[in-house]
A = this chain, B = another copy of it.
């Protein structure tokens, strides 16, 4: 459990740097991320490299005992580079070039740009790979930010044709896989294939899905290129990338395979205001504290992308600038978010940014310091956390590293699959249905029941879990099916699971395709509903409403919930269950409580706005609600806070 901060020495006079470093130390900060937007400062003219400022900055940070996460500057190539390789720029879905003037102005598929990245990363790695202050490298910055994964430029088309040729071998295999005969869409060669944008009406979903997969693979390759250089010149350093919230346009599990740690950038208020997943009521209730499951969901998701290792690279320290509205966090929120991250296994929480910049795009984005260099409100909350970590060490007899190493105790897992997400976004069938949102609402229900959850990739070992949810596992590989068959715990398979083959066909035996082995049933028809239509559901497991998606299934399995015509909605027996519809929040919660019970887990209905998380023997309690709440665990000793928590309150207990 360490604190960090994002710092831009190039924005400030050198004379200020020692003071900044000292103040960081004083505040309890151990890690500093630098460099990731500094290409034009490093190389103001082609080939003319200005390292001195960075040498000095590293030296000063090092002298103050700060550890450095050094960013490769490839998210912001300089103007001269873009002018030299105009073909490196991305094009949007409308075919417009996305120009220089902000950041992320490149296509992942541009081979010219990859060569420039190879050059600058090699130079940096050679120079700083063995620097004693440098303990970690961050590749690039926020892959995909500003909708930059899908690009429709010439470089992307070339990459796509190569990718397709590699996948299909012959064009007739591609035609068959895509079902191109449908509307005379057959190709005679890979060179005839175009990108799936600007078609008269929707392109073939198989075409779209393969393009999405190809674009994701370009990100993997782009990242791997940097990883290989950094591994070569900078051994024994952690490699990391900083992911984003509610972002699924590339396969984070694949990128994560090549890195040592997953990190992400958490802005609870900005995302609450911006994202359509939240209702108007949620936006109002949690205006100044963020949605109670926003941080938690992503912590658990990205810990699963990081092979168990999680950092927060950027955490909101006060009001930000980029959401439609940018309110001030409630007092204590910055601390609350930090502790929530630690409770989910974060080794490091790093605040963005050290000092509010008085110029350029983000001048209204708060830092720990104000633009005038004085401490902003966030600074005192960061300092408080640093003190509380020390206090926790004392109470537990564990140092910060040992606290970091506390084991995950999750016995519940939710499977998350980027390919499933793309598949369902391409053809949602009801615009009310979104895979990501459905996963989030399932997660929320589990968490409202007091359960600690792992969010795992389809490839993860299932051995340690007693309850496993597949929200909508669209494609079921043979290998996954085998593991599911062997799974000993309680299994809930959600609607749309097994509904497509890998090539985006309906399976020959109809959905749930291969899962019918596990659960003998057939999805005969789908009722894809508008938001306002929520049919009544009832049965042995409770009553409530279904929403958005409703499958009519044929099965002899016992029904636990049925619709008004008596057709099954939730079926299963023993340890294996199928949910044939999305359920509203209340019924989802009671159904999951039943499953938890079957799995031998004790679900606890928490007070509104309160959440708990277990890590090792520690139990963390948080209050996101507007009202004071109380949570008193059994057989537990209070280490921090109290049983009664006001808004943004935190308590830590040790369970016996």
Within 8 A of B (CB), among A420-435: 427, 429-432
Q: Is A542 an interface position by the 8 A CB rule?
A: no
Within 8 A of B (CB), among A46-91: 73, 76-80, 83, 90
Asked whether, in the complex, the Cβ of A78 is within 8 Å of the Cβ of B363, the reply is: no
**A363 in contact with B205 given A73-B184, A99-B200, A185-B79 (CB within 8 Å):** yes
Binds B, one of A321-329, A340-348, A390-398, A443-451: A321-329
Within 8 A of B (CB), among A506-523: 506-510
Asked whether, in the complex, the Cβ of B182 is within 8 Å of the Cβ of A11, the reply is: yes
The 0/1 profile, CB within 8 Å of B marked 1, for residues 160-186 of chain A is 000000000000000000111111111
Nearest chain B residue, comparing its CB with the CB of A78: B184
Asked whether, in the complex, the Cβ of A273 is within 8 Å of the Cβ of B530, the reply is: yes
Q: Is A633 an interface position by the 8 A CB rule?
A: no
Chain B residues within an 8 Å CB radius of A360: 178-180, 182-183, 185, 204-206
**A98 in contact with B199 given A287-B530, A360-B178 (CB within 8 Å):** yes
Chain B residues within an 8 Å CB radius of A359: 178-179, 182, 206, 503-506
Asked whether, in the complex, the Cβ of B361 is within 8 Å of the Cβ of A204, the reply is: yes
Binds B, one of A190-198, A292-300, A603-611: A190-198
15 residue pairs bridging A and B, Cβ less than 8 Å apart: A10-B181, A37-B184, A39-B184, A78-B186, A79-B186, A98-B199, A98-B200, A102-B200, A179-B358, A179-B359, A203-B361, A284-B532, A324-B530, A325-B432, A325-B530
Q: Is A332 an interface position by the 8 A CB rule?
A: no
Nearest chain B residue, comparing its CB with the CB of A146: B201
Chain B residues within an 8 Å CB radius of A641: none
* Most chain B beta-carbon contacts within 10 A, residue among A90, A102, A318, A430: A102
Within 8 A of B (CB), among A92-139: 94-105
CA A232 – CA B287 in complex, angstroms? 62
- CB of A527, distance to nearest CB on chain B (Å): 5
Q: Is A335 an interface position by the 8 A CB rule?
A: no
Within 8 A of B (CB), among A286-331: 287, 318-319, 321, 324-328
**A200 in contact with B319 given A205-B361, A327-B527, A533-B327 (CB within 8 Å):** no
CA A76 – CA B201 in complex, angstroms? 12
A194 in complex: contacting residue of B100, B148, B361, B362, CB < 8 Å = B100
Within 8 A of B (CB), among A342-392: 356-364, 366, 370-372, 376-377
CA A308 – CA B100 in complex, angstroms? 45
A200 in complex: contacting residue of B103, B324, B505, B528, CB < 8 Å = B103
Chain B residues within an 8 Å CB radius of A218: none
Asked whether, in the complex, the Cβ of B318 is within 8 Å of the Cβ of A525, the reply is: yes
- CB of A599, distance to nearest CB on chain B (Å): 33
Q: Is A207 an interface position by the 8 A CB rule?
A: yes
CA A530 – CA B281 in complex, angstroms? 13
* Most chain B beta-carbon contacts within 10 A, residue among A79, A197, A284, A509: A79
CA A457 – CA B356 in complex, angstroms? 32
Q: Is A479 an interface position by the 8 A CB rule?
A: no
- CB of A180, distance to nearest CB on chain B (Å): 7
Q: Is A41 an interface position by the 8 A CB rule?
A: yes
CA A202 – CA B360 in complex, angstroms? 10
Chain B residues within an 8 Å CB radius of A158: none
CA A526 – CA B366 in complex, angstroms? 10
Q: Is A45 an interface position by the 8 A CB rule?
A: yes
A325 in complex: contacting residue of B40, B506, B529, CB < 8 Å = B529
CA A200 – CA B100 in complex, angstroms? 7
- CB of A381, distance to nearest CB on chain B (Å): 14
Q: Is A234 an interface position by the 8 A CB rule?
A: no
**A552 in contact with B324 given A184-B38, A188-B45, A526-B319 (CB within 8 Å):** no
Asked whether, in the complex, the Cβ of B102 is within 8 Å of the Cβ of A204, the reply is: yes
Nearest chain B residue, comparing its CB with the CB of A273: B530
Nearest chain B residue, comparing its CB with the CB of A565: B331
Nearest chain B residue, comparing its CB with the CB of A100: B194
Task: List chain A positions with a Cβ less than 8 A from chain B.
Answer: 8, 10-11, 37-41, 44-45, 73, 76-80, 83, 90, 94-105, 145-146, 148, 178-188, 192, 194, 196-207, 273, 280, 283-284, 287, 318-319, 321, 324-328, 356-364, 366, 370-372, 376-377, 427, 429-432, 503-510, 524-530, 532-533, 552
Chain B residues within an 8 Å CB radius of A376: 524-525
Chain B residues within an 8 Å CB radius of A206: 359-360
Asked whether, in the complex, the Cβ of A192 is within 8 Å of the Cβ of B83, the reply is: yes
**A528 in contact with B182 given A287-B533, A359-B504 (CB within 8 Å):** no
Asked whether, in the complex, the Cβ of A101 is within 8 Å of the Cβ of B526, the reply is: no
CA A461 – CA B103 in complex, angstroms? 44
A99 in complex: contacting residue of B104, B198, B204, CB < 8 Å = B198
Nearest chain B residue, comparing its CB with the CB of A280: B532
Asked whether, in the complex, the Cβ of B326 is within 8 Å of the Cβ of A182, the reply is: no
Chain B residues within an 8 Å CB radius of A362: 182
- CB of A267, distance to nearest CB on chain B (Å): 14
* Most chain B beta-carbon contacts within 10 A, residue among A77, A283, A506: A506
Asked whether, in the complex, the Cβ of B200 is within 8 Å of the Cβ of A80, the reply is: no
**A97 in contact with B178 given A78-B184, A184-B77 (CB within 8 Å):** no
* Most chain B beta-carbon contacts within 10 A, residue among A145, A360, A429: A360
CA A194 – CA B508 in complex, angstroms? 53
Asked whether, in the complex, the Cβ of A361 is within 8 Å of the Cβ of B44, the reply is: no
CA A104 – CA B205 in complex, angstroms? 17
Chain B residues within an 8 Å CB radius of A73: 184
**A80 in contact with B205 given A37-B182, A371-B510 (CB within 8 Å):** no
A321 in complex: contacting residue of B45, B194, B371, B429, CB < 8 Å = B429
- Counting from the closest, the 3 A-B pairs by CB-CB distance are A179-B359, A182-B360, A40-B184
Chain B residues within an 8 Å CB radius of A430: 324-326
- CB of A537, distance to nearest CB on chain B (Å): 16
Asked whether, in the complex, the Cβ of B103 is within 8 Å of the Cβ of A201, the reply is: yes
**A528 in contact with B199 given A183-B360, A427-B364, A508-B358 (CB within 8 Å):** no
Asked whether, in the complex, the Cβ of B431 is within 8 Å of the Cβ of A325, the reply is: yes
